[in-house]
């Protein structure tokens, strides 16, 4: 569990203080040069500064992987969990401390492999948290192993002749889960879109699942190379209830007005492979939010002590 400097805790009652993006970073990120995690961290810092979130009023929870080092670099409460278990930890935290803004950061293997069961049920619970799945299509921290999102045919240490199965699509999978309320996709090489998507997800009341496509300069440098070089291979989904980052219409020719409440079109667009699509695929705040329907009544420190003592008395000899 990472801690918060006293100097920032003292800002809680100082309404005249204004935090900037760099105030939200504790130390330099230890990722490979050119890693997409840096872009994600910068976008998160911009969001926190824009919303002026108090460090002591938010928490970052992660699993295991390159992306899961996030809590070490963000000036907030943090929990660096175990592989695939970030979502149940974050759900428990949100239920116990509903006043906190909870962010979850996972990798593709962390979320869609060992954490797949938690991913499905956390989506269905629709707990109010912002979930970032940083997808570089490979197990990077364990040095080049095939993950569920690795493209078919891509060679790795565990699949030297190339991945045998087609890649799992996190968008299609999430859109198929009942009570999924926010599903979006963005990319580390389009920082304006990345920031706007994070902002939309944060503003959403419910489980905001954001897949961030990112480049791993060491093991998957060519996976998104064509999209980085040629914007014509990417289509932006825009809508007043989605993401419409200013200025991107000058860079991307393919722009589609997509209503995020249309689940059928969202699923159809996620399934198509003619273009890479960035934007909010689905968004609906009418679904029940787990931490609201199963809210835990607040308990004072004195009441907690009384409950503990009562429980201890049961086992007195």
Instruction: Kindly tell me if the per-residue pLDDT of 9 is higher than 60.
Output: no
Calpha distance 116→70 (Å, rounded): 20
Strands 129-135 and 207-213: parallel
Answer whether 243's CB lies under 8 Å from 210's CB. no
Q: Which single residue is written with the structure tokens 């079109």?
A: 265
Answer whether 256's CB lies under 8 Å from 276's CB. no
Instruction: Kindly tell me if the per-residue pLDDT of 1 is higher than 50.
Output: no
Mean pLDDT (whole number) for 237-265: 95
Minimum mean pLDDT among 1-15, 129-143, 295-309: which range? 1-15
Answer whether 236's CB lies under 8 Å from 256's CB. yes
Answer whether 78's CB lies under 8 Å from 60's CB. yes
Mean pLDDT (whole number) for 182-190: 98
Q: Where are the domains of the chain?
A: 6-313
| CATH architecture designation of domain 6-313 | 3-Layer(aba) Sandwich (3.40)
Helix H or strand E encompassing 211 = strand 207-213
Percent with pLDDT over 90 in the chain: 87
Mean pLDDT (whole number) for 167-177: 97
Q: Which residues have CB under 8 Å from 286's CB, separation 6+? A: none
Calpha distance 210→171 (Å, rounded): 9
- pLDDT tens-digit readout, 202-229: 999 999 999 999 999 999 999 999 999 9
Q: What pLDDT score does 304 carry?
A: 87
Q: What pLDDT score does 149 carry?
A: 95
- pLDDT tens-digit readout, 93-150: 999 899 999 999 999 999 999 999 999 999 999 999 999 999 999 998 889 999 999 9
- pLDDT tens-digit readout, 191-203: 999 999 999 999 9
The answer, as to whether pTM is greater than 0.75, is yes
- pLDDT tens-digit readout, 13-39: 444 579 999 999 999 999 999 999 999
Percent with pLDDT over 70 in the chain: 95
């Amino acid at each position: 569990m990472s801690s918060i400097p006293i100097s920032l805790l003292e800002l809680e009652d100082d309404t005249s203080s204004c935090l900037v993006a760099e105030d939200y970073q504790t130390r330099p990120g230890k990722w490979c040069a050119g890693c997409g995690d840096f872009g994600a961290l910068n976008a998160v810092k911009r969001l926190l500064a824009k919303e002026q979130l108090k460090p002591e009023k938010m928490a970052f929870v992660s699993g295991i992987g390159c992306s899961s080092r996030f809590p070490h670099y963000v000036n907030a409460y943090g929990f660096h969990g175990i592989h695939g278990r970030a979502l149940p930890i974050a759900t428990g935290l949100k239920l116990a401390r509903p006043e906190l803004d909870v962010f979850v950061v996972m990798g593709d293997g962390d979320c869609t492999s060992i954490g797949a069961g938690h991913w499905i049920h956390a989506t269905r619970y629709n707990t109010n948290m912002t979930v970032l799945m940083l997808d570089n299509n490979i197990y990077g921290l364990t040095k080049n192993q095939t993950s569920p999102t690795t493209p078919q045919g891509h060679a790795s240490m565990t699949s030297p002749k190339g991945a045998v199965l087609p890649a799992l699509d996190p968008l299609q999978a999430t859109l198929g889960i009942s009570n999924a309320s926010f599903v979006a996709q963005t990319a580390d090489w389009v920082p304006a879109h990345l920031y706007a998507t994070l902002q939309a997800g944060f503003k959403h009341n419910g489980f905001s699942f954001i897949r961030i496509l990112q480049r791993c300069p060491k093991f998957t440098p060519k996976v998104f190379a064509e999209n980085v070089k040629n914007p014509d291979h990417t289509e932006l989904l825009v809508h007043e209830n989605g993401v419409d980052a200013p200025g991107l219409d000058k860079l991307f020719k393919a722009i589609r007005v997509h209503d995020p409440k249309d689940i059928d079109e969202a699923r159809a667009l996620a399934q198509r492979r003619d273009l890479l699509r960035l934007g909010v695929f689905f968004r609906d705040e009418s679904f029940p939010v787990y931490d609201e329907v199963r809210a835990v009544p607040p308990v004072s420190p004195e009441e907690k002590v009384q409950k503990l003592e009562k429980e201890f008395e049961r086992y007195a000899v």
